[in-house]
Amino acid sequence: MELGDIPDVMVIEHESFSLPWSEEAFRNELTLNHFARYLIMEMDGQPVGYAGMWTIVDEAHITNIAVRTAFRGRHLGERLLRRLMEWAGELGMERMTLEVRATNRVAQSLYTKFGFVPAGVRKGYYSDNQEDAVIMWCELPEELRGSGEKEGSE
């Protein structure tokens, strides 16, 4: 993802989340946050999804993953998550974590399919409706782990 992608990302962001991040939040992620990694998925030159994570020491924290509404159910979310997991492995991450709304069964099902398991709950995590977040973790499979330089270990 580059700064020029942000207007397209905002369209997907607003379609996908009841608490969308601002343009400034994405700009900060791309320019100031040394731990942030974002990718965008295009189909025929059209942005159809994006995903991001923070890579810290040997753990990757997924910040968001979303597919344009009109393109859902075509295994694109799956491709995005797989690519994010591969990238985390290439960077030397050993495990990944995320928070997901307790009612977001679609996303939970996607994560479960890729080996994520629930590990706890953050009560009232989402400020719009005080919904709980389910915390999920996944040990990255050995074959995805590269010898990448770990970050944040100073």
Ligand X SMILES: CC(C)(COP(=O)(O)OP(=O)(O)OC[C@H]1O[C@@H](n2cnc3c(N)ncnc32)[C@H](O)[C@@H]1OP(=O)(O)O)[C@@H](O)C(=O)NCCC(=O)NCCS
Binding residues for ligand X, per CB under 6 A? 16, 65-67, 72-78, 100, 104, 106-107, 109-110, 113
- From 99, 125, 131, 151, active-site residue: 99
DSSP sequence for 95-149: EEEEEEETT-HHHHHHHHHTT-EEEEEETT--TTT---EEEEEEEPPGGG---PP
Q: Residue 143: which region, alpha, beta or left (left: phi > 0; alpha: psi -120 to 50)?
A: alpha
| Sign of the alpha-carbon torsion through 43, 49, 55, 60 | negative
| 50 counts as catalytic | no
CB of 19 to ligand X, least distance (A): 11
Nearer to ligand X, 33 or 104 (CB): 104
Nearer to ligand X, 77 or 92 (CB): 77
| 38 counts as catalytic | no
Nearer to ligand X, 26 or 92 (CB): 26
**Residue positions annotated with a catalytic role:** 99, 111
